[in-house]
Amino acid sequence: MKHTIYASIATLALTASGAMADEKITVITSFPDSMTGPIEAAFETAHPEFDLEILNKKTSAGVKYIQEIAGANTADIFWASAPDAFEVLKNDNLLADVSVTSEGIPELIGSYPLNDPDGFYYGFAGAGYGIMWNERYLAANNLQPAKEWAELAQPEYHGHVGMSAPSRSGTTHLTVETLLQGEGWDNGWAKWKRIAGNFSTVTERSFGVPDGVNTGNFGLGIVIDFFGFSSKASGFPVDFAYPTITALVPANVAVVAEAPNSEGAVMFIEYLLTPEGQAVLLNPAIMRLPINPATYVNAPEGFPNPFKDSTIGAAVEFDVAKSGSRYNLVNSMFDVMITYRLDDLRDAVGAIQAAEALHADGSNTKATALIAEAWALIDANPIDEAKSLDADFAGIFTKKRKKVTDKVGERQAEVEQRWDAMVVANYASAKELANQAAGM
């Protein structure tokens, strides 16, 4: 026992003295080792006076971590994909307003502003959302890859699609919001629910989707592009395509407020934006879209270039303010209508698809009417777009306590229970109607 204690003290002393050798920059990131590793190596070669200390946490856990340690902050950099996570930190005054100098970086990627207009966080790479599929799985099930969101709703893909929940993954949230903005609130949700009716599963982590496609647990997944590219580069029999309606958004980096090594943190961000830093993004294990157009000269053949190919991410003018104002509300709606009621939704949509197949010619008008009624029940939304943008209503889901006297009318649990009761009843009647139609 005593030996253990002595050994521990010795270990502690060693770690403590070792850490003082270089100037440390502590980075909180959701990016995997395979991405941070090459960038860390490149940065430390260029700036040997710094020692990058990478701390890998899921985006949501990283945000929580920075919030919890704010009292005596030890983190210098927050580095992650989802702009929303940065918005949350910025609103909590946990990001530092720093000035970063760079050259040759444009203002926009696709139609999305690259940097935070207030200067709290900076884009360093681009990413778009799309569909990834497993070639072996599709061949075994006689399926063609779906290349547009709408195709994922077709009956042949029933039970073959996977996606993460927007409340779990900031990047998935952007996919959901992009479709809602691109197709309109009601059409967008209807499309999501019809696609979700084909879901095999809603994964808990955003990486769960490429993982599921890679192993062949399900055949198609809705993922961010680099998951598709890097899986393919690792040798999995998978491929990836951008649908027409997609948003290109930046992956971001920011200096944490009251960072112990603010100077080093700025150095790191500036390095990321240099041509050398940008070139590392083309490493086969990383495969993110550089934001310096000049870097694409060295890109492998077939690698998409959003600065040349204007079809990528051009169809949607992404409205950041709109997305931010209803962020939690959209997450909650997705969970209530899809994540938590996936079995009900899948059964109902499956039943409708079966009924449609039986009455494909449309000659039985009664059955066709029943089917239309069933779809209407699936498509029905608990609230309309105006309500989603009503600041008071959306406030129920954020619960920022400002003053003790501030009173929110309803509680999130009440609202969710009401929505839940509605969708459960709707899905059940939709299934019943479809079964009736099938029996005709």
Partner 1 sequence: MPQNPYILKGHADRLAKWLVPNLSAIHLVAVFIALLLIGLLLVPVAQVMIVAFQDASTGAATLQNFIDFFQTSLFRESFWNSFYVSAMSVVVATAIALPLAYITTRFHFSGSILIQSLGFIPLIMPPFVGAVAMQLIFGRNGTINLIIREKFGFDIPFMNGLNGVILVQSIHYFPFILINLSASLRNIDRSMEEAAQNLGSHGLRLFRRIVFPLAMPGYIAGAALVFIKVFDDLGTPLLLNVNNMLAPQAFLRISSIGISDPMGYVISVILVIFSILSLWASFLFMRGKDYTTVQKGGGGMAKRILKTREKFLSYGVVIFILLLVLSPHIGLLLLSFGTIWSYAPLPDGYTLQNYVTMWESSKTFITNTILYASIAATLDVIVGTAIAYIVLRTGIFGRKGLDYLATAALAIPGVVLGIGYLRTFHNLDVPFTNEPMASWWVIIALALMIRRLPYALRACTAALQQVSISLEEAAESLGATKRRTIQKIVIPLMAGGILAGFVTSFATAAVELSATIMLVSSNNDAPLAYGIYLFMQTPSGRGAGAALGIVAVIVVAIGTIASQVIIERNKKIKSTGDSH
* Contacts to partner 1 from residues 41-60, by CB under 8 A: 53-60
Q: What binding mask, one character per residue, do residues 378-397 give for partner 1 by CB under 8 A, x or -?
A: -------------------x
Among candidates 82, 95, 65, 178, which has minimal Cα distance to 130?
178
The correct pick among 244, 368, 412, 435 for binding partner 1 (CB under 8 A) is 412
Q: What binding mask, one character per residue, do residues 138-167 give for partner 1 by CB under 8 A, x or -?
A: --x--------------------------x
Least Cβ distance, residue 289 to partner 1 (angstroms): 18
- Does position 399 interact with partner 1 (CB under 8 A)? The reply is yes
Among candidates 252, 257, 25, 292, which has minimal Cα distance to 121?
252
The correct pick among 76, 183, 356, 416 for binding partner 1 (CB under 8 A) is 416
Find where tokens 């509605």 sit: 422
Token duo for residue 2? 């005593």
Token duo for residue 60? 């949501």
Least Cβ distance, residue 267 to partner 1 (angstroms): 20
Distance separating the N- and C-terminal Cα atoms of the chain:
78
Token duo for residue 201? 């599963």
CA 329 to chain centre: 16
Least Cβ distance, residue 307 to partner 1 (angstroms): 26
Number of residues near partner 1 (by CB under 8 A):
92
Q: Is 164 helix (H, G, I), strand (E, B) or coil?
A: strand
Least Cβ distance, residue 294 to partner 1 (angstroms): 28
Beta carbon nearer to partner 1, 96 or 223: 223
Token duo for residue 111? 């139609």
Give burial (CB, 10 Å; 0-12/13-18/19+) of 379: middle
Within 61-120, the residues that bind partner 1 by CB under 8 A are: 61, 63-65, 68-69, 71-72, 74, 82, 84-85, 88
Beta carbon nearer to partner 1, 60 or 278: 60
Within 292-351, the residues that bind partner 1 by CB under 8 A are: 327-328, 331-332, 335-336, 339-340, 343
How many angstroms separate the CA atoms of 183 and 185, rounded? Answer: 7
- Does position 174 interact with partner 1 (CB under 8 A)? The reply is no
The correct pick among 227, 242, 318, 375 for binding partner 1 (CB under 8 A) is 227
Which range of residues in 207-215, 275-283, 362-370, 382-390 is near partner 1 by CB under 8 A? 207-215
The correct pick among 93, 144, 187, 234 for binding partner 1 (CB under 8 A) is 234
Token duo for residue 61? 């856990």
Token duo for residue 172? 């998935």
The correct pick among 237, 241, 320, 350 for binding partner 1 (CB under 8 A) is 237
Token duo for residue 257? 């407020």
How many angstroms separate the CA atoms of 203 and 205, rounded? Answer: 6
Which range of residues in 248-256, 271-279, 309-317, 407-415 is near partner 1 by CB under 8 A? 407-415
Within 115-134, the residues that bind partner 1 by CB under 8 A are: 134
Least Cβ distance, residue 377 to partner 1 (angstroms): 19
The correct pick among 22, 44, 147, 217 for binding partner 1 (CB under 8 A) is 217
If phi > 0 it is left, if psi is from -120 to 50 it is alpha, else beta; for residue 216 that is: left
Amino acid found at 391 = A
56-77 burial, b at 16+ Cβ within 10 Å, e below that, comes to ebbbbebbebbeeebeeebbbb
Question: Which uninterrupted H or E stretch holds 190?
Answer: helix 185-196
Cβ atoms of residues 157 and 133 within 8 Å? no
| DSSP string over 283-312 | STTT-PEESSGGGGGGPPTT---TTT-TTT
- Does position 168 interact with partner 1 (CB under 8 A)? The reply is yes
The correct pick among 6, 34, 41, 46 for binding partner 1 (CB under 8 A) is 34
Of how many residues is the chain composed? 440
Cβ atoms of residues 261 and 253 within 8 Å? no
Phi/psi of residue 281, each to 5°? -65, -20
The correct pick among 230, 246, 261, 292 for binding partner 1 (CB under 8 A) is 230
The correct pick among 156, 204, 276, 384 for binding partner 1 (CB under 8 A) is 204
Least Cβ distance, residue 231 to partner 1 (angstroms): 4
